[in-house]
Protein backbone atom coordinates (compact mmCIF):
# COMPACT_ATOMS: atom_id res chain seq x y z
CA UNK A 1 0.00 0.00 0.00
CA UNK A 2 1.33 3.42 -0.94
CA UNK A 3 2.08 5.67 2.05
CA UNK A 4 2.96 9.15 0.72
CA UNK A 5 2.47 10.73 4.17
CA UNK A 6 4.40 8.10 6.15
CA UNK A 7 1.28 7.30 8.16
CA UNK A 8 2.86 4.01 9.18
CA UNK A 9 4.72 6.01 11.86
CA UNK A 10 1.39 6.35 13.70
CA UNK A 11 0.43 2.69 13.35
CA UNK A 12 3.89 1.64 14.53
CA UNK A 13 3.67 3.92 17.58
CA UNK A 14 0.18 2.66 18.46
CA UNK A 15 1.20 -0.99 18.17
CA UNK A 16 1.39 -2.53 21.61
CA UNK A 17 -0.18 0.42 23.46
CA UNK A 18 -3.57 0.82 21.80
CA UNK A 19 -5.37 -1.48 24.26
CA UNK A 20 -3.88 0.56 27.13
CA UNK A 21 -4.98 3.80 25.45
CA UNK A 22 -8.55 2.50 25.20
CA UNK A 23 -8.50 1.30 28.81
CA UNK A 24 -7.29 4.70 30.05
CA UNK A 25 -9.93 6.54 28.04
CA UNK A 26 -12.67 4.13 29.17
CA UNK A 27 -11.57 4.85 32.76
CA UNK A 28 -11.82 8.59 32.05
CA UNK A 29 -8.18 9.60 32.56
CA UNK A 30 -5.08 9.59 30.34
CA UNK A 31 -2.23 8.20 32.42
CA UNK A 32 0.60 7.41 30.00
CA UNK A 33 2.32 9.12 27.08
CA UNK A 34 0.60 8.56 23.74
CA UNK A 35 -1.18 11.80 22.91
CA UNK A 36 0.97 12.73 19.88
CA UNK A 37 0.28 9.58 17.90
CA UNK A 38 -3.31 8.85 18.96
CA UNK A 39 -4.71 12.40 18.73
CA UNK A 40 -2.31 14.11 16.31
CA UNK A 41 -2.44 17.82 15.64
CA UNK A 42 -1.50 20.05 12.75
CA UNK A 43 2.12 20.86 11.99
CA UNK A 44 3.13 24.20 13.49
CA UNK A 45 1.42 23.72 16.85
CA UNK A 46 3.91 21.60 18.78
CA UNK A 47 7.57 22.42 19.23
CA UNK A 48 9.06 19.24 20.71
CA UNK A 49 10.80 16.72 18.47
CA UNK A 50 8.04 14.20 19.19
CA UNK A 51 5.30 16.71 18.37
CA UNK A 52 7.03 17.57 15.10
CA UNK A 53 7.50 13.89 14.20
CA UNK A 54 3.80 13.12 14.64
CA UNK A 55 2.46 16.40 13.26
CA UNK A 56 -0.06 16.22 10.43
CA UNK A 57 1.31 18.34 7.60
CA UNK A 58 -1.86 19.21 5.72
CA UNK A 59 -5.59 18.73 5.38
CA UNK A 60 -4.81 16.19 2.66
CA UNK A 61 -2.70 14.19 5.12
CA UNK A 62 -5.47 14.37 7.73
CA UNK A 63 -7.91 12.99 5.15
CA UNK A 64 -5.49 10.17 4.36
CA UNK A 65 -5.23 9.45 8.11
CA UNK A 66 -9.03 9.19 8.34
CA UNK A 67 -9.12 6.94 5.27
CA UNK A 68 -6.38 4.66 6.63
CA UNK A 69 -7.86 1.23 7.44
CA UNK A 70 -6.36 1.17 10.95
CA UNK A 71 -5.78 4.78 11.96
CA UNK A 72 -9.16 6.22 10.93
CA UNK A 73 -11.20 3.67 12.89
CA UNK A 74 -8.90 3.97 15.89
CA UNK A 75 -9.21 7.76 15.95
CA UNK A 76 -12.99 7.49 15.79
CA UNK A 77 -13.01 4.81 18.50
CA UNK A 78 -10.84 6.85 20.86
CA UNK A 79 -12.86 10.00 20.20
CA UNK A 80 -16.03 8.04 20.93
CA UNK A 81 -14.57 6.83 24.23
CA UNK A 82 -13.81 10.42 25.23
CA UNK A 83 -17.29 11.53 24.17
CA UNK A 84 -18.84 8.89 26.45
CA UNK A 85 -17.03 10.15 29.57
CA UNK A 86 -19.47 11.86 31.91
CA UNK A 87 -18.83 14.28 34.75
CA UNK A 88 -15.23 15.19 33.89
CA UNK A 89 -13.77 18.18 32.12
CA UNK A 90 -11.47 17.64 29.18
CA UNK A 91 -8.60 18.96 31.31
CA UNK A 92 -9.42 16.39 34.00
CA UNK A 93 -9.37 13.66 31.35
CA UNK A 94 -6.15 14.63 29.59
CA UNK A 95 -4.33 17.03 31.90
CA UNK A 96 -2.54 20.17 30.79
CA UNK A 97 -1.49 20.76 28.00
CA UNK A 98 -2.88 17.59 26.41
CA UNK A 99 -6.46 18.87 26.64
CA UNK A 100 -5.37 21.65 24.25
CA UNK A 101 -3.87 19.06 21.88
CA UNK A 102 -7.18 17.18 21.94
CA UNK A 103 -9.02 20.34 20.90
CA UNK A 104 -6.54 20.92 18.07
CA UNK A 105 -6.93 17.33 16.92
CA UNK A 106 -10.73 17.46 16.97
CA UNK A 107 -10.68 20.73 15.03
CA UNK A 108 -8.34 19.31 12.39
CA UNK A 109 -10.24 16.07 11.88
CA UNK A 110 -13.68 17.68 11.95
CA UNK A 111 -12.49 19.85 9.08
CA UNK A 112 -10.81 16.94 7.28
CA UNK A 113 -13.94 14.79 7.56
CA UNK A 114 -16.26 17.38 6.08
CA UNK A 115 -17.91 16.26 2.87
CA UNK A 116 -16.01 17.63 -0.09
CA UNK A 117 -17.94 17.74 -3.32
CA UNK A 118 -17.12 18.98 -6.76
CA UNK A 119 -20.78 18.81 -7.76
CA UNK A 120 -23.95 17.77 -6.04
CA UNK A 121 -23.56 14.12 -5.14
CA UNK A 122 -19.96 13.88 -6.38
CA UNK A 123 -17.38 13.07 -3.76
CA UNK A 124 -13.67 13.52 -4.08
CA UNK A 125 -11.80 10.22 -3.68
CA UNK A 126 -10.75 9.48 -0.12
CA UNK A 127 -12.96 12.16 1.37
CA UNK A 128 -15.79 11.77 3.83
CA UNK A 129 -19.05 10.60 2.34
CA UNK A 130 -21.53 12.02 4.85
CA UNK A 131 -22.00 14.35 7.76
CA UNK A 132 -21.80 11.25 9.98
CA UNK A 133 -18.06 11.16 9.26
CA UNK A 134 -17.60 14.43 11.16
CA UNK A 135 -19.91 13.42 14.01
CA UNK A 136 -17.46 12.17 16.68
CA UNK A 137 -15.11 15.11 16.22
CA UNK A 138 -17.86 17.73 16.18
CA UNK A 139 -19.50 16.03 19.17
CA UNK A 140 -16.24 16.36 21.12
CA UNK A 141 -15.96 20.04 20.21
CA UNK A 142 -19.57 20.60 21.30
CA UNK A 143 -19.26 18.66 24.53
CA UNK A 144 -15.93 19.96 25.76
CA UNK A 145 -15.38 23.29 23.97
CA UNK A 146 -18.86 24.78 23.46
CA UNK A 147 -18.59 23.94 19.76
CA UNK A 148 -15.54 26.13 19.26
CA UNK A 149 -12.64 24.73 17.30
CA UNK A 150 -9.05 25.59 18.11
CA UNK A 151 -8.39 29.08 16.74
CA UNK A 152 -4.74 28.48 15.85
CA UNK A 153 -5.55 25.24 14.02
CA UNK A 154 -8.25 27.02 12.04
CA UNK A 155 -5.87 29.88 11.29
CA UNK A 156 -3.17 27.49 10.04
CA UNK A 157 -5.70 25.63 7.88
CA UNK A 158 -6.96 28.90 6.41
CA UNK A 159 -3.41 30.10 5.72
CA UNK A 160 -2.53 26.79 4.06
CA UNK A 161 -5.59 26.94 1.80
CA UNK A 162 -4.87 30.51 0.75
CA UNK A 163 -8.35 31.74 1.70
CATH value at residue 95: 1.25.40.380
* Domain containing residue 43: 8-161
Is 151 part of any domain? yes
Q: Which long-range contacts (CB under 8 A, 24 or more apart) does 29-33 make?
A: 29/88, 29/92, 29/93, 30/93, 30/94, 30/95, 30/98
Is 3 part of any domain? no
Is 81 part of any domain? yes
The answer to whether the beta carbons of residues 93 and 44 sit under 8 Å apart is no
The answer to whether the beta carbons of residues 11 and 71 sit under 8 Å apart is yes
Considering its fold, how many domains does the chain have in total? Answer: 1
Is 40 part of any domain? yes
Is 36 part of any domain? yes
Distance (Å, rounded) from C-alpha 113 to C-alpha 30? Answer: 25
Is 2 part of any domain? no
Distance (Å, rounded) from C-alpha 1 to C-alpha 140? Answer: 31
User: What percentage of the chain carries pLDDT values higher than 70?
Assistant: 87
Taking only the tens place, the pLDDT of each residue in 100-110 is 999 999 999 99
Is 1 part of any domain? no
Is 27 part of any domain? yes
- Mean pLDDT value across the chain: 89
Using the predicted structure, report yes or no on whether residue 116 has a pLDDT greater than 50.
no
Q: What is the pTM of this model?
A: 0.87
Amino acid sequence: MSDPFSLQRFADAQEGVFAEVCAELAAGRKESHWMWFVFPQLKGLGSSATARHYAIGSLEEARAYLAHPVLGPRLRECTGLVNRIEGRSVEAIFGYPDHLKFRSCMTLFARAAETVTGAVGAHAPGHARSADETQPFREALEKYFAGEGDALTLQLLTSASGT
